[in-house]
Amino acid sequence: MTSLCTATELRAVSGDAALIAYLRALRGQGVVDSVFQRTVNVLMPDERLVALVARGGGDAPRTLVTDADDWSGRGISAGRAVEFTPGVITVRTADAHLRVHTEGADEWHPILPSLAALGPGDLEAAASALDRLIQAHGSRGGMLGPTPTASSMEAAVTRALADGREALVRAITSADDDAIRRGVLSLLGLGPGLTPAGDDFLTAPALLSSLHGSGLSAFGRALQDVLLEHPGRTTRLSVTTLDEALAGRARASLLDVLHALAHPSGWSEARATESVRTSVRHVLAIGHTSGTDILSGLVTGLRLEKEVRGSL
C-alpha cells in the first residue's frame, strides 16, 4: 500500500526582490545544500544558492524570510530533492512536501549609502567607533583572536588570520596588485564553518570596494579574479556572499551599519558610536563569530579607505 505524502504550505514573508522576480518564472529541479535550525540553503537549477530562513531572520541577497518557526524536525537533509515551479519552492522529504510560496512577499531592495562625503578624519572616527564596540561585545575565535580556552589548532588559525590581515593591509596600502592577490588567497577559506572567518572578514571590504569612488577598487578586482581562478578554495555559500558583496549587495543589517556611519562630516567618535550601536548589535548576532569577523573587515576597510583618500 502506497502512503500519501502530506504537504505543509509556507509563505515567504519578505525576500530579495531580484530573487523573487527570478522565481516567478523558474521551473526545474534543485537540491538541498545544507540545513541548520534557522536556515536551509538550496541549490537552484542553475546551481546558484537561495537561503530559506525562519521567521525573524534578516533580509539578505538571494534570501527568502519565511513564516516557519524553524527547520528542525521537518525531515529536511542535505541532498533532498527540491522542485521549482513559478513562485513556489517545494522541498521533498520522506513523508511530506514543504512548499514555500513567494507570491505576496514584501520585496527587499538592498540600497547602498554613499561615503563619498566622509574625509579621512570621519572615516577614522567611524572605524574607531566600530572597533570599540567589537572589542567590547564581539566574539573571539576568529579575527578577534583566540578564546581563553583555545586549542592549539584554534590558536594557529587565529594567528594565520592576523597574519593574513596584516599582509593584505600592507599590499593594498602599497598598491601592489600581486601582493593583494596573495593577501586575498591567504585569507580565503581560512577557518572552520560554512563561512570561514577569513571569508567573513573579506566580505566588508568587498562591499566597500563596490561604492562609487572607493579606493579599494584594486582589492575588489583581485578578489573577483581569485574567486574565478580558485573556485574550490572555499565554500559555495562564501563564494555567493563574496560575489554579492562585490556587486554592492549584502545583508540588511550590515547595510544598516553603513547607513548609520554615513553621517555628516565632523562627527566625533562618541557620536558615531551611539549612531551605530543598535545596528552593530544585530550584525554581531550573526553566527558564532561571523558577525564579529564581518565587522572586523569593515574596520580594516574603513581605515584603508582613509589611507587611500589621505594620500590623494
Local confidence pLDDT in tens for the 312 residues of the chain? 344 567 899 999 999 999 999 999 999 999 999 999 999 999 999 999 999 999 999 999 999 999 999 998 888 999 999 999 999 999 998 778 899 999 999 999 999 998 888 888 899 999 999 999 999 999 999 999 999 999 999 999 999 999 999 999 999 999 999 999 999 999 999 998 889 999 999 999 999 999 988 999 999 999 999 999 998 999 999 999 999 999 999 999 999 999 999 876 777 888 888 889 999 999 999 999 999 999 999 999 999 999 987 655
Question: What pTM was computed for the model?
Answer: 0.94
- 3 state SS of 238: helix
| Distance between CA atoms of residues 124 and 305, nearest Å | 9
The per-residue pLDDT for 264 is 65
The per-residue pLDDT for 118 is 87
| Beta strand ranges found along the chain (DSSP E) | 6-16, 28-35, 39-43, 49-53, 63-66, 81-85, 88-92, 96-101, 106-108
| Distance between CA atoms of residues 302 and 38, nearest Å | 31
Contacts 24+ apart (CB under 8 A), 231-236: 233/185, 233/188, 233/189, 234/188, 234/189, 234/196, 234/199, 235/189, 235/194, 235/195, 235/196, 235/199, 236/33, 236/43, 236/49
DSSP helix, strand, coil percent of the chain (3-state; round to 5): 45, 15, 35
206 by Cβ neighbours in 10 Å (0-12 / 13-18 / 19+) ranks as: buried
**Taking the CB of residue 288, how many other CB atoms lie within 10 A of it?**
13
The per-residue pLDDT for 95 is 74
The per-residue pLDDT for 207 is 98
| Grid coordinates given for 95 | 513523508
The per-residue pLDDT for 309 is 75
The per-residue pLDDT for 90 is 97
CA distances from 1 to 7, 97, 230, 240 (A): 19, 19, 50, 44
| Distance between CA atoms of residues 44 and 3, nearest Å | 28
| Grid coordinates given for 165 | 590581515
- 3 state SS of 32: strand
Residue 131 half-sphere exposure, CB side, CA atoms within 13 Å?
A: 12
The per-residue pLDDT for 271 is 87
